[in-house]
Amino acid sequence: MAQKQEEGGLLETVKVIVQALAIALVIRTLLFQPFNIPSGSMIPTLLIGDYVFVSKYAYGYSNYSMPFGPNVFSGRILASPPKRGDVVVFKLPRDNETDYIKRVIGLPGDRIQMIEGRLYINGVVVQREKIDKARTENREGQEVPVATYRETLPGDAEHAGVEHTIIEIEGDHGINDNTELFVVPPDHYFMMGDNRDNSTDSRIAPELGGVGYVPFVNLVGRAEVIFFSVKKDESALAFWRWPWSVRWDRLFKPAH
């Protein structure tokens, strides 16, 4: 009888573990995916070492929304297009494997151009307001104060324009501060990082190692909230260092 009780207890434990894994898989596949910020292209909105939850349902589902990207259907189901200003995780179009995170700047049909460091959308310069300087690393790895702006993207009849903070490490004379005129194709989006002079994004062509236009189908989801954050070069798994390594003030902040 004791052996039967032991076997029954083991079976119940296995069932609980299987159920927990199934629930986690459903959440990971259909609802939320954790994402770690590996680079500084979205500073100051997102820092290296931030961990964010990405809503998978925000734009509907494509093959790239699923773990390992199985080729089970074409296009998107339950599709809902992103709004200008959304912070989005997507699969890099030139390999369809690497996860990138950027801000949606251009919608299908938009004309996008950078002129002397200023962003133009459909021929109109985007409003920006100078604010207190942020500090970040320059190309030499030195932490310095940098030009910082509150930028307001154009809205529409239903939504006010999104306000967000950008930095210009090289002022208005960075390598990508003067570009050609981009016309966003149908069902594609133009992405840029908030760290304007240190972001590989849609301003750079795929054949030059950049992003180019991002197809709607490549979108994984929308960044929602920072649920954990550790300082640069710290491991999130080193829990014994958390009192000093965790950026407590960043926990549960919006990721956009």
Q: Which residues are part of the catalytic machinery?
A: 41, 102
- Are the CB atoms for 80 and 202 separated by under 8 Å? no
Which two three-digit tokens encode residue 33?
A: 């995916």
Distance (Å, whole) CA 166 – CA 164: 7
Of 170, 171, 255, 180, nearest in space to 210 by CA = 180
Residue at 194: amino acid letter: D
For residue 105, give every residue at least 6 positions away whose Cβ sits within 8 Å of its Cβ, in sequence order, or none: 84, 112, 119, 121, 153, 190, 191, 192, 202
Can you say whether the dihedral through the CA atoms of 179, 184, 185, 189 is positive or negative? positive
Contact criterion met (CB below 8 Å) for 190 and 184 = yes
